[in-house]
Amino acid sequence: MHYLKYIVKVEFIFKSKSSVLKNISGFTAIAEESATVLILGSMPSEASLKKQQYYGHERNAFWPIILSLFASQSAHQILNYNKLKQLLIKNNIAVWDVLQSCYRHGSLDTAIKMDSIKTNDFYQFFSTHTAIKKVCFNGAKAETIYKKYVFPTISEQFSSLNYCRLPSTSPAHARMTLHQKTAIWEKQIKDYNNH
């Protein structure tokens, strides 16, 4: 009897863990051939996956920063997701994630199961988006994964690319204010594109 209870308990724990550790896949890139800057995240959050939109969490600072840098004040209230994507394209910005797929519990980067990751095909991407000169990482995790798993495979072919890490727009990264983050993003992205 005790043995059966043990089996049931183990099965319950296994099912519970299986139900929260999900195999997730990212989105296709927002990118035109005219893009000069690529912004890379790690993997869309649960809120983004549910909405099927990049940076879909209501407290993520990505879109407020982009609007602050590139949209007129009157446009802030009327832009829907398709228009937000067009705003990026108009300003020669591409958006993608380092990971194509992974297992993850919840939305935090720290919950990504690293032995499950599959990176996107950056050789193909940079081969078809030859105007890109700068790659900006939205947070430390994207940079860490890229430098370990992607950079060694493309460094010789695309040696002219410039890299920088931006402060994460995730609501979990609360050490900096929106104003502080925006100032850094402006210097690294908007000012770069204006050169």
Give the type of residue at 69.
L
User: Helix, strand, or coil here: 129?
Assistant: coil
Q: With contact defined as beta carbons under 8 Å apart, do 171 and 62 qualify?
A: no
Active-site residue, 91 included: no
For residue 28 the two structure tokens come to 């296709």
Report the DSSP pairing between strands 37-41 and 21-25.
Answer: unpaired
Selection from 111, 153, 86, 128 nearest residue 24 by Cα: 111
Q: How far apart are CA 20 and CA 62, in angstroms?
A: 26
User: Helix, strand, or coil here: 63?
Assistant: helix
Q: Per the residue annotation, which of 23, 60, 91, 120 is the catalytic one?
A: 60
- The residues carrying an active-site annotation are 60
